[in-house]
Amino acid sequence: MKPQKTEVAAYAKSGGKSFLSMPHADRLFLIFGSESRGLPQAVLSMYQDETYHIPISADIRSLNLSTAVGIALYESLRDKNIFHAWGWK
């Protein structure tokens, strides 16, 4: 199940593209590093053209990992035809 490069969004503070431009493929692999160290250099090198960032203020060191994952996951599903289980009113 090796992903194609167009199916990968690796998140790093130094990511080259905004999270708003991440691919919306049917199959998408979101990759995150730890809060303290980020992604390993090997992963950044492997996916150097597929790195994304979530804009934050320069005064903030980093986002909480679970917050970043939630933002990226929501964005990855935003254009899908998925409805809330209880329906929209």
Per-residue model confidence (pLDDT) at position 42: 94
- List, for residues 20-69, the tens digit of each pLDDT value: 999 888 899 999 998 888 899 999 999 999 999 999 888 887 788 999 99
Q: Is the pLDDT of residue 3 over 90?
A: no
Instruction: Cite the DSSP H helix spans in the chain.
Output: 41-46, 65-77
Q: How far apart are CA 26 and CA 33, in angstroms?
A: 23
Q: Please compute the mean of the pLDDT values over residues 82-87 and round it to a whole number.
A: 62
What pTM did the predictor assign?
A: 0.82
Q: Where are the domains of the chain?
A: 7-77
pLDDT at 83: 61
Q: How far, rounded to the nearest angstrom, does the alpha carbon of residue 61 sit from its chain's CA centroid?
A: 18
Q: Which CATH architecture has domain 7-77?
A: 3-Layer(aba) Sandwich (3.40)
